[in-house]
Chains A and B, each alone.
Chain A
Amino acid sequence: MENDVLLRVEDVWLQRPGAEVLRGVNLTVRQGEVHALLGLNGSGKTSLALTLMGANGYKPEPGRILFDGQDITDASVTERARLGLTLAWQEPARFEGLPVADYLALGMKKPERGRIEEALKAVALSPLSYLGRAVNDALSGGERKRIELAAVYAMQPRLAILDEPDSGVDVLCIGDIMALIRRMADEGTSVLLITHRDEMTEASDTASLMCGGAIVQTGTPAETRDYFAQRCRPHGDLLGSQPWGTEAGGTYQRVVTEGVCE
């Protein structure tokens, strides 16, 4: 079904200083779908997220990004957000003096206290304790992470890119986050779920695997998990280093480009 495509990424390449981090990415996210994007560290997941959001310095060349059929390759971050695309950063920013309540309200078309409180509860944070606190250093990384997810949920975007929502939060919270992702989908938000934990794909409908700056596999979560477990995990030690750095001694490039893992 072509008409249910919300995001289409066509042959996206991205050059960053000293590295070609995306190498011909093709990806499709459908309306209402939770699409997991798996991959080891350094495979290009976060670079793809920033490219999709239009962050400074992440303009693809060549390549095209279509959102609901509209070419947004040259659109600003604000324009993309107003079309309904947003991103929960892997490491959320700190905002000195900005209360949590205001931070959540920023992205809402009609800010309502009830929705803000509901969003905090959805990430297992007490509204009473957090609404008046600032999104600053006084919060732990895990708390800021949950608040970032709550802000995205409160915004009710059409597509939420969640960059490793499971990292930096305690294990007990992982279930809450997976439940939140399903809840977002149930309420009409498509989700691109970036993770390097294959168990997180349980919350998804579709899963793709990224390696060396390209999508190498797309299928059901089970198929992609199997592929990941059998072909990627054994190379985790190699992939843990910067793939294009000299410390990898070129081995990583062999894994990726010469298909050693095949």
Chain B
Amino acid sequence: MSSQPSSHAEPSISSVLQQRDPAWAREFEAILKAYEQAGGKSDALRTPRVASAVISGNQVLAVNLIEGVNIEAEELESGVRARITVAPGTKVDYPVHLCFGMIPTEGLQEIISEFEIGEGAEVGFLAHCTFPNAENLKHVMDAHVHVGPDATMRYSEGHYHGPAGGIEVLPTTHAQVDEGGRLESEFSLVHGRVGSLEIQFEADVADRGVVELVAKAYGSAEDRIKVNEVVRLNGEGARGLTKTRVAVRDQATSEIYTTAEGNAPGAVGHMDCTEIVRGSAVARNVPVVVVRDDRARVTHEAAIGSVSRKELETLMARGLEEEEAVDIIIRGMIG
């Protein structure tokens, strides 16, 4: 296996986070600081053993490659196009770290990405998207994911948006999981204000393939959360799970639409949604079950409402104030 050189990194596999232009050092440090605010560990971005990419606005600040993992990044007018490939059979020891963000208060960032996970490969991704000063920002992600036969991809994306809430986040993903492949994807936006979030995720799953989608968000003030996930279990024995955990308070709104299709013998799908509502917030969940084969099975469960009184009183009986208890329960659920 050999890595392809990145368009913005030295070809040496052992290079340590080569910065393309020293003049960007300030931007680099700022985005790393914001990355840590989003829960990332910037040390990982300086470790040669960890594949990584740091993207601020439309600038590719740094890329580090390791054997079997290639990242090609191209700057666009208002964002970046990235192609990430993992060679067949590669087992990546440490998650690939991806850092996206913008330091300015306003602007547009579009990330167009392609993930190609080769047959039998195993890889994790830790993506942190940070917009600490967002007042009038738009972050668009358009990802195409292909998980090859018997390959495994674990993708975890955490967001930090700062306190103002002036941000629109529009992540769209189209995923194809081949025979025996596995895709686990987790999206989390629980720190800072959400702003406006609209997740679109579609997955097609072949024989014995597995897809697990987890979305967690905590909205407040006027935040708006919308999740639309479609899992098509097209192959024999394909399995799919959507798990959504959302809490909204104040005047925030949450709309969760999930669809699971059982289209083949032995396909098993499940949708699990919990939403906690506080104050004047509004939550809605619409699960759609489609079964096209009488040997498939798709189920769903949803719970929307306030925090359980029993959970609250259990924590209050340990000496916590009611609001502290509510916060712990919500943080546990979405954390």
Per the bound structure, the CA–CA distance linking A176 and B317 in Å amounts to 24
A48-104 with Cβ < 8 A to chain B: 53, 55-56, 76-78, 80-82, 86-87, 89, 92-98
B333 close to A77 (CB less than 8 A): no
Closest to B309 in A: A56
A82 touches which of B309, B311, B313, B319 (Cβ 8 Å): B319
* Closest Cβ neighbor of A161 among chain B residues: B317
* The one of B245, B311, B317, B322 that contacts A87, using a Cβ cutoff of 8 Å: B317
Contacts of B311 in A (CB 8 A): 93-95
Query: Complex: how many Å from CA A97 to CA B214?
Result: 14
**Interface residues contributed by chain B, number (CB under 8 Å):** 23
CA distance A53 to B321 in the complex (A): 14
The chain B residue with its CB closest to the CB of A92 is: B314
Q: Is A22 an interface residue (CB 8 A)?
A: no
Q: How far is the CA of A155 from the CA of B316 in the complex (A)?
A: 13
Q: Are B318 and A81 in contact (CB under 8 A)?
A: yes
Q: How far is the CA of A114 from the CA of B66 in the complex (A)?
A: 42
Q: A89 and B328 in contact (CB under 8 A), knowing A82-B319, A97-B333, A107-B319?
A: no
**Which residue in chain A gives the minimum CB-CB distance to B311?**
A93
Q: A96-B332, A97-B333, A98-B328 are in contact. Are A55 and B313 (CB under 8 A)?
A: yes
Asked if residues A78 and B320 are in contact (CB atoms below 8 Å), the reply is: yes
| Complex: chain A residue closest to B322, CB-CB | A78
Report how far A161 CA is from B315 CA in the complex, Å.
15
Query: What residues of chain B lie closer than 8 Å to A96, measured between beta carbons?
Result: 245, 274, 332-333
Residues in chain B near residue A14, CB distance under 8 A: none
Question: Across the interface, do A98 and B332 meet the contact criterion of CB distance under 8 Å?
Answer: yes
Name 19 extra pairs, CB < 8 A, besides A76-B322, A78-B320, A97-B331.
A53-B317, A78-B322, A80-B317, A81-B318, A81-B319, A82-B319, A89-B310, A92-B314, A93-B310, A93-B311, A95-B328, A96-B274, A97-B333, A97-B334, A97-B335, A106-B318, A107-B319, A151-B318, A155-B318
